[in-house]
Chains A and B, each alone.
Chain A
Amino acid sequence: MTIKLNGDPFTLDGPATISTLLAHLDIDSRRVAVEHNFIIVKRDQYAATKIAEGDEIEIVNFVGGGGDSVAAASKRRWRIGDQEEP
């Protein structure tokens, strides 16, 4: 199935939950926050939250930052909800 992950299309081979997706991506669940179709998923719900075709998922973490630490060119892609530049 195809979903949108951090703004880009992403293909999953079979059924998945937030937990299995994070494991597949080798992401430590304690270092991130996850949005599933614009709703924040609590960490204790990762295993119970199933992912469906067309779902939009955002996985964010903390990065170095002050006011304008992200270069203009990449800015549009790294903020949650950003779309590909035309």
Chain B
Amino acid sequence: MADEFRIAGRVFRSRLIIGTGKYPTIQTMRAAHEASGADMVTVAVRRVNLTDRTKESLLDYIDTSKFFILPNTAACYTADDAVRTARLGREVGLSNWVKLEVIGDEKTLFPDNEALLEATRVLVKEGFVVLPYTSDDPVICRKLEDAGAAAVMPLGAPIGSGLGIQNPNNIRIIKEQARVPVIVDAGVGTASDATVAMELGADGVLMNTAIALASDPIAMARAMKLAVEAGRLAFHAGRIPRKSYASASSPLEGVIGARA
């Protein structure tokens, strides 16, 4: 199959993965998911709201025959919490996949890679398909891969920061050495950021805030769909090298008024 996006043996049509958080309304979320063309969405695992039973269930608004659900361990600060949350996420019953997050710092939401590695090992052993959110550090990405992660997900910049790909060289290096898919997760702010990630060779991009908090989430979702496609096409098209000086596009001979 030409240019397949495959994670743990499962093929996805779209290289864009999106979240379900921070949308102004659940209807906007649903329309944005549609516009994005994504076929995998992430969800958080949280206590049921017992005091407000009128709250609609998220699953009522996601067509699970069209969207693959990826539970995450958002806001877990220890390996134990993340493992516990992952197990509960699996127990809800939709998949044994988990987007593994172990947060190391409240302000930056950067991962605690030591705990992340520990949690990855435990969950891989328990049969989970683990997609860890991690730093743009080739060393930790290699360790996570060796620990059995089904993909590695280096951040582009802090979650929700919109700063784009802060260290493109590292992303390129990570992709160069990886034997599992590389999905840039976190920090994308606008369409060009997603395109840059794909041009660096990333297999996919995961984002939430860039779409959910855009002034027009549905338009941004559509932009991201195109951005990821454009980036992948450009990556395969073989770009020209960067040069310091000009390299004329038109022939130099036959210019009127030129001396011999």
Given contacts A40-B88, A67-B208, contact A30 B50 (CB under 8 A): no
The verdict on A63 contacting chain B, using a C-beta distance below 8 Å, is yes
The verdict on B81 contacting chain A, using a C-beta distance below 8 Å, is yes
Sample of 19 more A-B contacts, CB < 8 Å, known A26-B53, A61-B57, A66-B160:
A25-B50, A25-B53, A31-B59, A32-B48, A60-B92, A61-B92, A64-B19, A64-B22, A64-B43, A65-B43, A66-B21, A67-B74, A67-B101, A67-B133, A69-B74, A69-B208, A78-B47, A80-B46, A80-B88
A-B contact count (CB 8 A): 146
The verdict on A58 contacting chain B, using a C-beta distance below 8 Å, is yes
Instruction: Write the nearest CB–CB distance from A82 to chain B, whole angstroms.
Output: 8
Most B Cβ at <10 Å: residue of A7, A42, A58, A61: A61
Q: A79 CA to B184 CA in the complex, in Å?
A: 26
B residues 112-152 near A (Cβ < 8 Å) are 133
CB nearest to B207 among chain A residues? A66
Whether B71 contacts A70 by the Cβ 8 Å rule is no
Interface residues of B (CB under 8 A from A): 19-23, 26, 29, 42-48, 50, 53, 57-59, 69, 71-72, 74-76, 81, 84-85, 87-93, 101, 103, 109, 133, 159-160, 186, 208-209, 212
Whether A66 contacts B45 by the Cβ 8 Å rule is no
A67 neighbours in B (Cβ, 8 Å)? 21, 74, 101, 103, 109, 133, 159-160, 186, 208-209
Whether B44 contacts A62 by the Cβ 8 Å rule is yes
Whether A66 contacts B47 by the Cβ 8 Å rule is no
Whether A60 contacts B21 by the Cβ 8 Å rule is no
Please pick, from B22, B57, B59, B84, the residue contacting A66 in the complex, using a CB distance under 8 A: B22
Q: A78 CA to B46 CA in the complex, in Å?
A: 6
Whether B109 contacts A68 by the Cβ 8 Å rule is yes
Number of interface residues of A (CB under 8 A): 35
B109 neighbours in A (Cβ, 8 Å)? 67-68
Q: A81 CA to B29 CA in the complex, in Å?
A: 29
Q: A42 CA to B19 CA in the complex, in Å?
A: 27
Question: Chain A binding site: helix, strand, loop or mixed by DSSP?
Answer: mixed
Most A Cβ at <10 Å: residue of B48, B59, B72, B160: B48
Whether A63 contacts B91 by the Cβ 8 Å rule is no
Whether A28 contacts B22 by the Cβ 8 Å rule is no
Q: A65 CA to B98 CA in the complex, in Å?
A: 13
Whether A80 contacts B74 by the Cβ 8 Å rule is no
B57 neighbours in A (Cβ, 8 Å)? 28, 31, 61-62
Given contacts A33-B88, A40-B88, A68-B74, contact A61 B159 (CB under 8 A): no
CB nearest to B155 among chain A residues? A67
Q: A27 CA to B90 CA in the complex, in Å?
A: 18
The verdict on A16 contacting chain B, using a C-beta distance below 8 Å, is no
Q: A3 CA to B92 CA in the complex, in Å?
A: 23
19 contacts between A and B (CB under 8 A): A27-B48, A33-B92, A34-B91, A40-B88, A43-B93, A60-B45, A60-B46, A60-B88, A62-B92, A64-B29, A64-B58, A65-B46, A66-B74, A66-B159, A67-B186, A69-B22, A69-B74, A79-B75, A81-B81
